[in-house]
Amino acid sequence: MKEDVFYGKGMVHVKKDYPDIYEAVVKLNEAAFTGKALDYKTQKLIALAITASNSDDRAMKKQMMSAIREFGATKDEIVDVLRVVLLTAGNPPFVKAMKILYELEE
């Protein structure tokens, strides 16, 4: 189940052409999100925070959609993530992320 959440279309090719990389990425995802103390949803919000702070449009959009659809993250929860992005990464990534969030909402 986890697998179809994380790996976009690009990874279908990787799985077929470079199975050793694919297995490493699966293992890495499992190690990343099988936390001992934080729940899965919180960890996904952390992944969103990191990609948003890098101003990476596509990656943050993908993380937002995943957080909303797979983990039922609410708009207020995502905005609470982006509040921290504003403080620690500045206004440009915050504005970009809010724009993407409102576009997803529509």
Q: Would you tell me which residues interact with a second copy (CB under 8 A)?
A: 8-11, 13-14, 18, 20-21, 23-25, 27-38, 42-43, 45-47, 49-51, 53-56, 58-59, 74, 76-77, 79-81, 83-92, 94-96, 98-99, 102
Q: How far is the CB of 80 from a second copy (least distance, A)?
A: 3
Q: Say if CB 50 and CB 80 are below 8 A apart.
A: no
Nearer to a second copy among residue 1 and residue 87 (C-beta): 87
Counting DSSP H helices and E strands in the chain, the numbers are 7, 0
Q: How far is the CB of 37 from a second copy (least distance, A)?
A: 4
Q: How far is the CB of 98 from a second copy (least distance, A)?
A: 5
Cα dihedral 66→8→1→47 (10° resolution): -40
Helix, strand, or coil (residue 54): coil
The pair of three-digit structure tokens given for residue 33, joined into one six-digit string: 């999100």
